[in-house]
Structure 1
């Protein structure tokens, strides 16, 4: 992929208010995005039978491009000595998608020196990626024995004694979808930073994101349970038999996610050195979606596997401690991710298949990184770092991210399968 970009901005004061100058900025942004996938054009009959290889004839296409034009403006208004507000407006025009205008308004209020209140509201617009639109189609047969035609078997369970409830193995279709549209969003934040003493501060920000026409890949279990909402995804032959299920990207419904971000900072002296501690955490309050804008909201998706987007962990944080004494600085960092419920195959979801000792709880994941830096040589920095200090393995999962099958064993949005690693770094400043 390549990106060519040209932009220009102009800014400065436009007039004066009792609390200060009103500042303004205007600008333009021109971009050309190009994308090509140089796959293997060898005839399929001569290729090894590897499922969805990264370079395959399915994704062999010439360069495509997208032109983007944008204009924007922003004005900062000092309403009072302790209150300022910012108004912004941006208009983007994408070739093939039309134009979208999105505003943003924010404020900062400091009633006393130790307390800051802040908030913002904005709307957004995101077009699908080239891959989501243009990647080739991959077709594979469903290999399980737990699938039925939802139009013929209302219970969605295999039952050979009931007509229409026999097991079927239709093809499943994955890949890009050229007619995907953009998704839109509305989001707001409201929070504060409090510094009661010079050695401690606490920041808390509540936030909410509402997306419509979300670009997503609907899971097979969800499609089967809501077949009437997605009739075009169930492909049938002339006799009405289900021959394929389309699981490509769709613009589907609406999602609502909200949470609170926490930042705690403390520092002090210990012996002849200084210590600092920082906690950055995020707690999810709500995560839900609906398949159509006029359908009912689904169950909570907090702590539940989702095939695309954010995994929706209830809690995650990064905790860092550092100590500096003389020419030495040492750090220890913990990265923590809460556990969640793993996905299951359709037969398990509808109860027709009951595996022995089925475990769907994915454990929480915590790793530690450590480093030590020496700066006692002029212009020279020497660092030794250890990633995954205790050589922690990722928790087992059955499916992951945008995986199209089972057996992946770990989730890249949460964990890293690499074990302990050591880094040696030397740097020199010439001026």
Structure 2
């Protein structure tokens, strides 16, 4: 019998809320976390808006010894992990250390830490570079630091597939549970708000140049002009139902029911693989399109990529066949953290029986024939959800979550 995977704890760090309660309230109120970047002097750059986390104070949550050796993304990841474990009622000794593991997603690693130490190297000399530069910038650092902090000696991995990584990490963690692990920490947290990373964002030509936070990121809208980069994400506790029963009173948000990924080689005449990923994820879950209550879209905000995604959704569900939402219009695209935050949001939608809106969008392209949730939240029972993500370079991923029965 295949071992099932359920989510029992969620830790969230988002531009519009820290923790599931604060974040969910912001979504329901349509509160955006997108604003003019303040982390560095943005005046010389074409794109000036970002989804910054404004009120995170790492020294309130972490020991002094951790701070000098960690980048901003690792600090966010460690704190989100602590919150997720606390919510899942996991304490030291509840699960054997070699039966717990960590799989996270990353897009590049600790950009801010790396940039700072490289500046020291070039302007002051090698003796001024931190010894922690050897790992603090590395894309696997979050998995490593989480494992060390919580003495998790089981499977460990990091997935590098940009925005799709937040789903791929969860899919890989579910596979580890099926292979015998009892509990996995998974998801992704990312932060690329520094000059080094910002140049990379702008090089792809898809970042919005708007200076209006409410009009800058408009996926599926006729006025779509690109996306807004952001920081944050979600870490979740994933475990088997048998493991949960050992801790009385532990909440279960939902089950990871289906997962699939495809890759677009971009050969002439070959259609995008997102539709195939959707169909395979539904098949993995043993579900049909009619069983899905809402789709959380990847929603790039680029007219061509939005059209491709809309066509894939319409091909599977039919015209106006399923409610679609993109609450990331309130946070920006969080890259390795974005899809995992969407998964967490889908689980919260099932918990609260509501679908958050796609803020700012009002002129949906008619040809998409899409039932996009705009304006206000849509209050309705949500028993299942499909989450989509695409990573730069051709990665497509789809994940199905449903209520645990």
Structure having greater relative contact order (Cα 8 Å, sep ≥ 6): 2
| TM-score, structure 2 as length reference | 0.24
Greater percentage in strand = 1
| TM-score, structure 1 as length reference | 0.23
Greater percentage in helix = 2
